[in-house]
Chains A and B, each alone.
Chain A
């Protein structure tokens, strides 16, 4: 799933390790989410949204919305 996690992280000047510490996950988890290799669970997606003080939809791009735009 596409997301803006890397951009949001960069605006706060956080490394992946910094973000991982704040979310209480591993650095590999953050990397996998940023690169789209892994989609977070709903609780983790909510924690990410709360950390950045944004709605989930402004961080993660819904796959259905992405394909409808392509049409």
Chain B
């Protein structure tokens, strides 16, 4: 894995991955205490709003990092593949969200919090990266 990090990742990919890892760490640190405070105290007024914004900030940072990556990436193939994955994942996620929304509205499915939508989006991109057929691993000659 680290060999791939050194040789197969472009500089833009390495920078993006580092940013995302730091943001995920921030998310893991920030979220549990916020959840605990919400569950165990009677916060009111602007505090729950502030807590929600603070919880969302690392995830927003991850999306900003994606945008930064697309502008930093100089390799046109990697840029094109990323844009393709984003387009497919966005269409699939939005479609699933619409379907689930109507199923939920008609009482067929339970309520799911909206913050799961970005996770579905990321997972779909992950599947594409693993099984999308654009891999060139092991084809060097």
- A interface list, Cβ under 8 A from B: 15-17, 24-29, 31-33, 35, 37-38, 40-41, 44
Q: Which residues of A contact B141 (CB under 8 A)?
A: 15-16
Q: Which one of B29-37, B52-60, B75-83, B99-107 contacts A?
A: B75-83
Where the two chains meet, the residues of B that have a C-beta atom closer than 8 Å to any C-beta of A are 8, 10, 74-78, 80, 134, 136, 139-141
Q: Which of A29, A31, A37 contacts B76 (CB 8 A)?
A: A29
Output the least CB separation between B4 and chain A (Å): 11
Main SS at interface, chain B: loop
Contact B139 A31 (CB under 8 A): yes
For A31, list chain B residues within 8 Å (CB).
Answer: 136, 139-140
Nearest opposing residue in chain B for A33, CB measure:
B77
Given A15-B141, A35-B136, A40-B76, 11 new contacts (CB under 8 A): A16-B140, A25-B75, A25-B76, A26-B75, A27-B8, A28-B75, A29-B77, A31-B136, A32-B134, A32-B136, A37-B134
